[in-house]
Structure 1
Amino acid sequence: MNGNLSHARLKEMAKHRGLKVLKSRRRTPGVGDYGMYGLTDMSGRALIGIGDDGLTASAADIAAFMKSSSEQNWKKSAAETRGKAASPPKRPHHTPSPDKSRNETPPRRKPALAIVSSNKPDVVASKKLSRKPAREARLAVRSARASDAKGLAQLFNQLPGAAPKPAEIARRLALVSGTGGGAVVAVQAREIVGCGGWAVVPTLHRGLIGRITLLLIAQNKRRRGTGRLLLDAIADELRGSDCQQMEVLSDIAIDNSHSFFRSLGFEQTSYRFLRPL
């Protein structure tokens, strides 16, 4: 990659992560920190490549650092999502020791649940112990498969209009994959609870663009970090396809999705016009 392209791409990658790329101002090769880079957060705190005598990291160093940070944030977000479903730790039970000075036998503890017997009418049943809430199954994000078509058809019932049949969904998955795009699914307890799709669009003026064409979460699984996990997985796939930018299509009527994408660093840059063929 030439210097200008590398710098532009690094700036775009850093922008999506809330970071800032610094580039050496040296104009003469071999002088000082010519051609070197540094990376800070938005508050100016140095992350990599900031030395006492100038910048010290290469473009490859900066890209590798941001990719590694993205993967760590994805894993951390997944761990936090699973941690919310974990049951609270049990409080340690303490049994007071008897007072030996009084030489008394400690009272016998009552059973948590008394047994009601017809032979002993004087025994009284205590209240049933409340059951602990079941631990929520782990959430996993992976590439979509043809065998997911039936589960995707059920998820697509949330969209306006008639959902495509499983056979048609399987055909479209193969078509999308064959043209450079793809899809990922979020699975919990063997149920598909979310899906994200993308396409790689070659353009004359901006090169390869990764376009997110679908981000759908089951209604009872929203606001749990699932959408963020799907977007992180898609972003990693698009970086591997040498895309310079990532864009998303969002329905005008779904206002809450607009705020969601803005919170992740997306900016509204254009209008979308659609006409049936």
Structure 2
Amino acid sequence: MTSRNRSGNTVNADVSPDWQSGSRPTRLPLQKNNIRIRDAKRSDALDLAMLMCELGYETRPVEMEARLKLILSNPSYKTFVAVMDGCICGMIGTLTYPSYEHNDPSGRILALVTSSTARRRGIGRALIATAEKDFGQRGIRRVALDTRLTREVAHKFYESLGYEQNGWRFVRQLPVSN
């Protein structure tokens, strides 16, 4: 699926993400000051829908707008976007919540994606640094995240940032009851 974001850039959502396939594309170096991280807005729905497609989650802009309406109105959630040259090129979504296992609250990175056209430029690191700073300001000392087993390059990326594998996640789809 090839689409254009609001800025007119072509995005191919059917291409396997670089970090999933393990390839390391050559990219022009990015100056850190070219990346701006800001809070997401509902008007970012089109760009965020395309980023979700790149992660492998088919998402229409209208669906993302509905999700953002709920997420952005809930103070337990935080969504940051990375903007480079006026275009959204990445996002991170987080959640803070009370814990059964610990006395203090926990944090979770729910989603992290960088556009396939902007990878290996420090955007993911900048998004995680922003989220971790926000977690710290909220009194969160423990952060967890999930990643697919097949995304070995992502695993190495998270390990390089100090994250450690400490368990397994099991998923089951339940039928919706009326």
TM-score, scaled relative to structure 2: 0.74
1:201 and 2:97 correspond: yes
Q: What is the alpha-carbon distance in structure 2 between the residues aligned to residue 184 and residue 271 of structure 1?
A: 27
- Amino acid paired to 2:110: T
* Per-residue CA distance 1:232-270 (angstroms, 9 max, x = gap): 110111112222311111111110000000011111111
The one of 157, 165, 168 equivalent to 2:63 is 168
Q: 1:236 aligns with which of 133, 140, 163?
A: 133
Report the AA paired with residue 34 of structure 2.
R
Aligned to 1:187: 83
The equivalent residue for 2:31 is: 82
Q: Corresponding residue for 1:252?
A: 149
The separation in 2 between residues aligned to 1:247 and 1:266, in whole angstroms, is 8
Residue type of the alignment partner of 1:233: T
Amino acid at match of 2:64: I
Aligned counterpart in structure 2 of residue 220 of structure 1, from 90, 94, 117: 117
Change (3 A) 1:185 1:161: closer
Deviation at 1:214, TM superposition (A): 0.7
Q: Are the aligned partners of 1:173 and 1:182 in contact in 2 as well (CA < 8 Å)?
A: no
Deviation at 1:190, TM superposition (A): 2.0
The one-letter code of the counterpart of 1:175 is L
* 1:186/1:193 contact within 8 Å kept: yes
1:32-51 matched pairs, under 5 angstroms: none
Which of these two proteins has the greater Rg computed from alpha carbons? 1
Letter of the structure 2 residue corresponding to residue 160 of structure 1: G
Q: Which residue of 1 aligns with 2:158?
A: 261
Separation of aligned partners in 2, 1:151 and 1:272: 29
Contact 1:176 1:199 in 2 (8 A): no
Give the CA deviation at 1:82.
Answer: 1.4
Q: Post-superposition shift, 1:182?
A: 1.2
Letter of the 1:226 partner, please give it.
I
Amino acid in the other structure paired with 1:223 = R
Give deviations 1:57-105, integer Å, cap 9, x for gaps.
xxxxxxxxxxxxxxxxxxxxxxx9416xxxxxxxxxxxxxxxxxxxxxx
Alpha-carbon separation, structure 2, partners of 1:211 and 1:162: 22
- Letter of the 1:259 counterpart: K
Q: CA deviation at 1:180?
A: 0.7
**Residues of 2 paired with 1:238 and 1:185: CA distance?**
16
Unaligned stretches of 5+ residues in structure 2? 1-28
Structure 1 position 171, deviation (Å): 2.5
Q: Shift of the alpha carbon at 1:225?
A: 0.6
Name 2:170's counterpart in structure 1. 273
> What is the total number of aligned residue pairs between the two structures?
144
Offset at 1:189? Answer: 2.1
Superposition deviation, residue 224 in structure 1 = 0.8
Q: CA deviation at 1:203?
A: 1.0
1:158 paired to 2:54: yes
CA RMSD of aligned residues (A): 1.9
Bigger RCO of structures 1 and 2 (CA < 8 A, at least 6 apart): 2
